[in-house]
Amino acid sequence: MMSRTLLLSALVCMIYWSDFAVASPKCPQPKLRKWHRVTNAMIKSTYNLGVRMTHNDVGGKLVITGNVYSNGCGGGAGSIAVTYIRGDWVQIRYTQEFRGSASCWKIFGTTAYPKYSSNIAFHPNPLQQKPVVALQDYSEADGDGIFNELHMNSLTNNKFDGRVYRCDNNRDNFWHTNNGDGLRRATVMLRRRSLTENAGIVTETSCGTPSYVIKDVYVLM
């Protein structure tokens, strides 16, 4: 995937050299990217707090499990789990399954949210550095995608509403105990913010001790 500037330069160059009916190696060439299945060997590093994480290869595919044990909810930190993926990839796609319940959560993008930008796992901790995850938050308007949703709004509504952060007791908070403890699921495709910063998959929770599985992970590079 070329930047707009590089794409424009390539087009101008090709138009110029086409007048001479020759091909020129001086023209910038696009890098053809394709989706690569992520394995355990592609993990660069991990970070976790308040959650037990495991990373396994199952059938040649990375499977991440998280079992939250820290409730948080004003009594300390909740949970955060980060898995950084190697490579110069520009997009990531994965399926996440959610079980149990959590009133507060941050998924499908980078860490925190403006309201909790200085917090780790929904709790102030000035002595601990917050991990940076160079993803863009999910935005369908900017080209991200979500597929195969199951109960991602409520027990009677599968459609995810696009909000990647919640901390409330509303009926449409899909991971809240109001909607039971059963399976919720979605496949999401997200953009990377920067190739010079670490990026990967992150989940933060508070006010609950849920579990989740992340699988079928692919990166575009």
**CA-closest candidate to residue 151, choices 107, 178, 183:** 183
- Look up residue 149 and give its DSSP letter: E
Between CA 148 and CA 169 the distance in angstroms is 25
User: Domain residues of the chain, as ranges?
Assistant: 35-220
pTM of the entire predicted model: 0.85
User: What's the pLDDT tens digit per position in 51-82?
Assistant: 999 999 999 999 999 999 999 998 899 999 99
**CA-closest candidate to residue 106, choices 208, 218, 219:** 208
User: What's the pLDDT tens digit per position in 116-149?
Assistant: 777 889 998 766 778 889 999 999 999 999 999 9
